[in-house]
Structure 1
């Protein structure tokens, strides 16, 4: 099914069902993003435990990233 076919199918739904679908999609996107954030946090915790996480302020991070670009 193409993207346009999906849109056409949604447009045939009653307004209430369209609103329900949009709300469902929005909630699922929020939940997926929360899962991504949680997974990233776990990786950070592992890096901190392993001693491989970088620590510092914004200027430290900026300098580190800019130094990488020069290499």
Structure 2
């Protein structure tokens, strides 16, 4: 089902002028960036909440490297 929709979108985009295709690409890129930003903000807020609740602790870079290398 999704593959069919994707194929239809690709076919429909071929009907657009080159300028409109470029505009569509830019719109899609901007939307992806916004989604990635929103996901990052969500992840940071969750991490801050976990830290505030004492579910995790702070480490120095040296401690992190020591853990990675052990």
**Which band: TM-score by shorter chain?**
0.7 to 0.9
Q: Give the 3-state SS of the residue equivalent to 1:36 in structure 2.
A: helix
Equivalents in 2 of 1:55, 1:61: separation in Å? 13
TM-score by length of 1: 0.76
| Matching residue of 1:36 | 39
Equivalents in 1 of 2:66, 2:47: separation in Å? 18
Q: CA RMSD of the aligned region, Å?
A: 1.9
TM-score by length of 2: 0.77
Equivalents in 2 of 1:25, 1:33: separation in Å? 12
Farther off after superposition, 33-42 or 51-60: 51-60
CA shift at 1:54, angstroms?
A: 3.3
The answer to whether the aligner puts 1:20 opposite 2:23 as a matched pair is yes
Aligned residues: 64
| Matching residue of 2:68 | 62
CA shift at 1:34, angstroms?
A: 0.4
Unmatched 5+ residue regions in structure 1? 67-71
Unmatched 5+ residue regions in structure 2? none
